């Protein structure tokens, strides 16, 4: 059964190339919004809280602060409306799912940036 699902996914779902990112990274997602006949591009910038699943069924959760209210959104990686993903900052975290980030406020809610040579 799993091989049949994989076969259908490989044939009918187009795979888009996006940069690699992980939990703790700050990313910007550009996606299409359809309002009647109009189509516009909107962006959503926030911190990746978790990445779930594998292959084409992978989803990721992004959290951003809108004023003092935290807003989380789950995006499937194969969403047809996704146009591009930009990685703004790479963060250093010790866990794959940083749910504890929800309770942090102010300076404690900062994530150290990963250093590259």
Q: What confidence tens digit (pLDDT) does each residue in 39-69 have?
A: 999 999 999 999 998 877 889 999 998 888 8
Quote the distance between the C-alpha of residue 73 and its chain's center.
8
Q: What is the pLDDT of residue 17?
A: 82
- Flag whether 112 is in a domain: no
Q: pLDDT band for position 117 (50/70/90)?
A: low
- Flag whether 113 is in a domain: no
| DSSP string for residues in 62-117 | EEEEETTEEEEEEEETT-TTEEEEEEEE-B--S-SS-GGGGT--GGGG--PBPP--
Q: ∠ CA 31-18-101 to the nearest 5 degrees?
A: 75
CATH of residue 95's domain is 2.30.30.790
- Flag whether 116 is in a domain: no
Segment 81-116, tens digit of pLDDT: 899 999 999 999 898 999 988 888 888 888 888 887
- Flag whether 115 is in a domain: no
| 73 touches 58 (CB < 8 A) | no
Predicted structure pTM score: 0.81
How many domains does the chain fold into? 1
**Beta strands at 59-66 and 69-76: parallel, antiparallel or unpaired:** antiparallel
Which domain, by its residues, includes 36? 2-104
């Amino acid at each position: 059964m799993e091989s049949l699902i994989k076969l259908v996914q490989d044939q009918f779902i187009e795979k888009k190339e996006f940069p690699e990112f992980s939990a703790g990274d700050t990313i910007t997602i550009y996606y299409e919004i359809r309002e009647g006949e109009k189509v516009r591009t909107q962006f959503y910038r926030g911190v990746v809280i978790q990445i779930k699943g594998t292959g084409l069924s992978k989803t990721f959760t992004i959290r951003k602060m809108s004023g003092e209210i935290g807003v989380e959104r789950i995006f499937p990686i194969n969403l047809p409306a996704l146009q591009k993903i930009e990685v703004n900052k790479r963060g250093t975290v010790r866990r794959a799912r940083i749910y504890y980030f929800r309770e942090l406020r102010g300076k404690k809610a900062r994530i150290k940036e990963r250093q590259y040579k």
